[in-house]
Amino acid sequence: MFVNIRKRDGREVHFDEAKITEAIFKAAKAVGGADKQMAMELTLDVLRYLKQKHNGGLFSVEDVQDAVEKMLIEKGHAKTAKAYIIYRNQRTRIREAKSDLMAAVGEILVETNKENANVSNSPSAKMLQIASAASKAYYLNRLIPENMAAAHKRGDFHIHDLDFYGKTLTCIQIPLGKLLRDGFNTGHGFIRPPKRPASATAQAAIILQSSQNDMHGGQSFAFFDRDMAPYMENVDENEAFQAMEALIYNLNSMHSRAGAQVPFSSLNLGTDITPAGRMVTRNILLAYEKGLGRGENPIFPNIIFRIKAGINLNSGDPNYDLLKLAIRVAAKRLNPTFSFMDASFNKAYGDQVGYMGCRTRTMANRRGPEVTDGRGNLSFTTINLPRLAIKAERNLMKFYQKLAELIELTVEQLYHRYQVQAQLKVKDMPFLMGQGLYLDSDKLSPKDVIEDVIKHGTLSVGFIGLAETLVALTGEHHGESEEAQVLGEEIVAFMRNQVDKAAERYDLNYTLLATPAEGLSGRFVAMDRREYGMIPGVTDKEYYTNSFHVPVNYPISFFDKIRIEGVYHKYANAGHISYVEFNSPPINNLGAVEDIIRYMNQCDIGYAGINFPIDFCDGCGQIGVIDTEHCPSCGTTSIRRVRRITGYLSTMDRFNDAKCHELKERTAHV
């Protein structure tokens, strides 16, 4: 009856009516009504309908499928029609995913996407991002329940590191002391314990790199000063400095993930008061201050200086001189950042709380010991808070109802991912689990699943854009209005309460995260602008403001910003950070930096840093603020512009468009 049919891509191919019969038969079989004769008769009905509708002319695959659905319903085969529609929708979903994947691959082949500023534009990086695009398509269309996948695609929430959904975990605080003491195996032979500082720091770099290859997030040492101290006995300052300088060189040049990036490394230190521990802290800070070979600003490691009264906060404390050194280095190099052990939510743990440069914090534990070492975040998903506010149309009851529903869906999605992760085996993460980095993993054999181990990790519900949410609900953000600040705290407290209830219900470590939105910063707002238009103060920028921060372009003093944001740290138990901005490195105003840090300590801040521009001329080595395209000394345009992005340092050329817009709008807090 018919010769050709038009495919979806426009090609004309030979028409085969047997395919219609087979599709109807499969649909009937799916509902227990398989009948080949019925399928053949319905095929004839479909063909007659197509001939009548298209006057015997050419028709498309979609036309055929529409006709099959119509005939099944008209001939009384409702169950079979439903099965056919479901199958058709599944095939459409898979086909669209393939199309999206090919488009993504095409873009990556030109230049890697800038979702993560620590990923290079190398051939290896491109290959890995192509694999990443394929993984995302697979998980969204084959593994993740459809309602959860749809919520991610719509932009209701964002599943972070989606490409690693079922492969590994996010991050870990590595028990460095244990590995250095006992030795370890990277898969090519045993590494015996070190005896000298240089060997110890070389092994520390290898450990960070090896662990990074098993995970997708950050790698951190929670007690770098304490764990490195045993290897500083009977050495002079020069030997200690050389070892620390070598570590910094390694962490800025030693790539992981097939050369795509350097390990996302963090070192916590500052509270070891022993002579050896102090030597570690002093010399890592001095080596970082010196910079790389030509004075360039190191990108890694993130150095996190712990502050605690009685140890280093006040004059007369045994490590107060190290705090002064840390302030001096931070005023020149952006690092270290500062964590506050006397904050209300950290104080109970003494000086045992560790952070990561991306802001992650892991401490309380429903399923085991409350320690930092050997634990980390399993996964996190961020809700689109401004969208809920836009849709609520200033109806707070409606806003809270929808917020509770979305948090519940997010919790369910995190549990689904947890169940997938729990079935991974030790051998799937041979260094992380096989070498006992994760708490209790040394009790497992290579073929064991890791569920009994990852129960110690955290599952985090994140949020972004509190400022835009408040504008949508009240007309002002929390920097502009005390009433908005009260509502902002109420919203974040509500989210924390919902997450705590989930922790009780599942008996897992659900936590609330002040999301480090990098690739996400522009995704949500672009989708919301398309859907709801340009809303002043909400969708009129290229990014949503990070977590609970006061908008970066709002003129506000250092102290007002700290006071306002300090309120929120206690609720975000999965991680938080606040920043203050300077126009230039405050190397000649260290007293002001110390005053700011002391005020942070008073305002219940958990983790914070200072920001300012650092530019380095590759031609002549000039460092400082170079606010022209050409170096004023030598005229070259080859200038490395280092800035902080969501907790870590990178060069501006690696920032995505949304983060570039945010960077341009950053206003110094004076």
Q: Would you list the DSSP string of 11-40?
A: -EEE--THHHHHHHHHHHHHTT---HHHHH
234 phi/psi in degrees, rounded to 5: 60, 35
H or E element in which residue 166 lies: none
Q: In the prediction, which pLDDT does 170 show?
A: 96
103 phi/psi in degrees, rounded to 5: -65, -40
- How does residue 574 score in pLDDT terms, banded at 50, 70 and 90? very high
Look at residues 52, 145, 13 and name the one whose alpha carbon lies nearest to residue 417.
145
Q: What is the pLDDT of residues 280-293, one digit of tens each?
A: 999 999 999 999 99
- Give the count of alpha carbons within 13 A of 598, CB side only: 12
For tokens 């230039």, name the residue. 584
Q: What CATH number is given for 144-166+376-575 in this structure?
A: 3.20.70.20
Which amino acid is residue 421, in one-letter code? Q
- How does residue 106 score in pLDDT terms, banded at 50, 70 and 90? low
- Give the count of alpha carbons within 13 A of 489, CB side only: 14
Q: Where are the domains of the chain?
A: 4-84, 144-166+376-575, 172-349
Mean pLDDT of 273-284: 98
Rg (Cα) of the chain, in Å, rounded? 28
Q: In the prediction, which pLDDT does 650 show?
A: 85
Spatial contact of 267 and 228, defined as CB atoms under 8 Å apart: no
Given 3-state DSSP classes, what are the helix, strand and coil percentages for the chain, each rounded to the nearest 5? Answer: 50, 15, 40
- Give the count of alpha carbons within 13 A of 632, CB side only: 7
Spatial contact of 370 and 439, defined as CB atoms under 8 Å apart: no
Q: In the prediction, which pLDDT does 124 show?
A: 67
Q: What is the pLDDT of residues 141-152, one digit of tens each?
A: 889 999 999 999
Q: How far apart are CA 515 and CA 523, in angstroms?
A: 14
381 has a pLDDT exceeding 80: yes
Spatial contact of 130 and 108, defined as CB atoms under 8 Å apart: yes
70 has a pLDDT exceeding 70: yes
* Distance, CA of 418 to chain centre: 17
Q: Convert 547-582 to b/e letters by CB count within 10 Å (16 or more is b).
A: bbbbbbebebebbebbbbbbbbbbbbbbbbbbbbbb
Q: In the prediction, which pLDDT does 657 show?
A: 81
Mean pLDDT of 546-550: 96
Pairing between β-strand 172-174 and β-strand 219-221 as defined by DSSP bridges: parallel
Mean pLDDT of 235-258: 91
119 has a pLDDT exceeding 60: no
Q: What is the pLDDT of residues 607-641, one digit of tens each?
A: 999 999 999 998 898 888 998 999 999 999 999 99
> Which tokens belong to 239?
């030997």
For residue 5, the cross-strand partners are 13
Q: How far apart are CA 156 and CA 523, in angstroms?
A: 11
Q: Which residues contact 64 (CB under 8 A, 6 or more apart)?
A: 5, 20, 46, 50
Beta strand spans in 9-139 (E):
12-14
Q: Which residues contact 419 (CB under 8 A, 6 or more apart)?
A: none
Q: In the prediction, which pLDDT does 7 show?
A: 80
Strand arrangement of the beta sheet that strand 157-159 belongs to: 157-159, 377-384, 458-464, 509-514
User: Of how many residues is the chain composed?
Assistant: 670
Mean pLDDT of 163-192: 96
Look at residues 165, 172, 147 and name the one whose alpha carbon lies nearest to residue 157.
147
Q: How far apart are CA 655 and CA 114, in angstroms?
A: 6
257 phi/psi in degrees, rounded to 5: 50, 55
- Give the count of alpha carbons within 13 A of 324, CB side only: 9
Q: How far apart are CA 10 and CA 7, in angstroms?
A: 5
Least confident of 118-122, 140-144, 158-162, 444-448: 118-122
302 phi/psi in degrees, rounded to 5: -70, 120
Q: How far apart are CA 259 and CA 253, in angstroms?
A: 10
- For residue 197, is the peptide bond before it cis, meaning its omega torsion is within 30 degrees of 0? no
> Which tokens belong to 596?
């700011």
Instruction: Tell which phi-psi region holds residue 350, choosing left (phi > 0), alpha (psi between -120 and 50) or beta.
Output: left
H helix and E strand count, the chain: 21, 19
- Please, what is the end-to-end C-alpha distance for the chain in angstroms? 80
Spatial contact of 601 and 642, defined as CB atoms under 8 Å apart: no
- How does residue 595 score in pLDDT terms, banded at 50, 70 and 90? very high
Angle 441-446-450 from CA coordinates, rounded to 5°: 45
Mean pLDDT of 4-16: 82
Mean pLDDT of 581-592: 96
Count Cβ atoms below 10 Å from residue 336 Cβ, excluding itself: 29
